[in-house]
Structure 1
Amino acid sequence: MATPASRMQRPWRFIVVGLANTAIDICLFLALTWLNMAVIPANMISTTVALAFSFFVNRFYTFRAGPGMIGQAVRFLVVTMFALWVLQPLVIWIVSLWLVPLLPEMWALLIAKLAATVVSLIWNYLLYSAFVFRTPADAKDRG
């Protein structure tokens, strides 16, 4: 069984994985919108591709989770899909409403996507730690 990552290492590992995951997501999102795909479908595709990367790397590297991959995958999907398909489109829509009149559309979309990514990264870390990849050692630490 893999040993759980220390509580001090987890945030840093999550940041590294998050940066790689975000690069995958944003590059694919921008490429798809550049190819004239609508914003919401482009976001759904880019985040879904990044999703698979995120689950496996977070499971094995960030949290070093033990057995129970199927349950972890289900919880991961619930938490992550809410962030990707509810939080991100909502943030993109709200930020775009404010920025599109002020900036070129591609810059407004990039800023909106970055804002949405920050919101979902915070959401994901908190719920991955407490719910998705919680280890027996975590349960003992919390009482």
Structure 2
Amino acid sequence: MEFFEIKYNDGSVVKVKRVKRAELKDLITLQQDLIAAFVRNYAGIGSVISDDTVWSTIEKLTTMLPVVGGGLVELSKFEDDLNQLAKIFFTQSTDDNGIPLNMIAVHEGSEWYKPSLISELHQLDHITTSQEGIKKARPETVE
């Protein structure tokens, strides 16, 4: 995967590229924070993004994301698209209705939820990143 696409409310599409190597550590930390919030809210994406601290983290992460052709992702152009926000920042795993799955419920045996588009694009170890996020939210759930 060399990029992923974001569809803005006006129908236009941007292609998101990887951040520079120097920004990867910050990106990983922000992803952990978002996953922790996602777990704390039992995968309720509306509950997660309504939290001002979480939204601030999403805004910060978004300012890091370059797009093909120049510029950065414009969060205001899709901030009401809950399913797209979930896929970009939390997980691509969904139920039959396109609703994001709770990652704790999905983690059974050898199964694990799909990474966010950001994690997949940057080839992050989403299991470790997620476990760190889960530890932040619910330390009793991860050994």
TM-score > 0.5, shorter chain as reference = no
TM-score bin (small chain) = 0.3 to 0.5
The structure with the greater share of residues assigned to helix is 1
Higher Cα Rg, which structure: 1
Q: Tell me the TM-score normalized by structure 2.
A: 0.40
Q: Tell me the TM-score normalized by structure 1.
A: 0.40
